Structure 1
């Protein structure tokens, strides 16, 4: 019996070590990818071409952010939008499977003004599962044949507190969006907001 207990304890300890190793490895890979995104954004912003056409630069930067956010969290679709008063979509980046055109339609019909307002009222970030999305009118028009199974979003907020837009993720590949996913997206949104302000400085150097 003692030998059996010892074996079980050893097995349990081994599993704990393995679990700890996997979690540490995941944290390391995540940090490395976030560092790489930060490096890419910094390199992008240092490019002299920003001064030539700020609007194109903004779209290019948002596209980079959506691709990285979608990969980091593991989602089917990511969209990042920037707006101003009365015009909620002056620039946009979107990443989703090329062979699923329903996402293109979904992104086009998003009620961004209502979405920005909803995120703001919820403190700057939102994480909602499919059962809650069913009763949420925000995506009623956009959903069509593709009702989202999960929604994770964060505001793009300037240093002065003004809201620039939002980053949104839809439909995680495995399971539901987690608190860790939300923390990752909020961090990416902070980096993206800083980058957006830099792009605008190139456009209005006053």
Structure 2
């Protein structure tokens, strides 16, 4: 039996953060509350009954959450092998059965048109050179997923809905959630900042 959303969030609180986060990759720890909400919703929608791919898995938060929430097969993909080492340790510590793969999410080592559920917390595009980075994750999701769940910066709803509609998809669920960020890079001026993230479920045809 899958854990409740509250229980899942509590289990995910022990997920370790990046040991040496990269500003260029916008490596931030996905909040346990968001991961639990997203994966609990995926379970209610029956989306964890198919294989799950976590694109840009980072610390493995979403991949581990999907596994704990009931997904039978989960793959976590990230371009950073150091991040995957953290993710692997987190899965061993917290639980969850996940296969970890080093790979570029824009060229994922997964078959096109595969029947998978994608979960992802893409870069928000805050760094120079990373603008529209979340679009690349949606483009990959469109090619490999039946359904995707992605976390975006505040104000992304019009873009996400427009992109999905143009590609034959449909946003079926959307919710907002606080995304706290601790000071970790030189350009951060506050000890702690809370963004208002937006999460979208898209069905792809």
TM-score for the superposition, normalised by structure 1: 0.32
Q: Which structure: greater strand fraction?
A: 2
- Higher RCO (CA-CA < 8 Å; seq separation 6+): 1
More helix per residue:
1
Higher CA-based Rg: 1
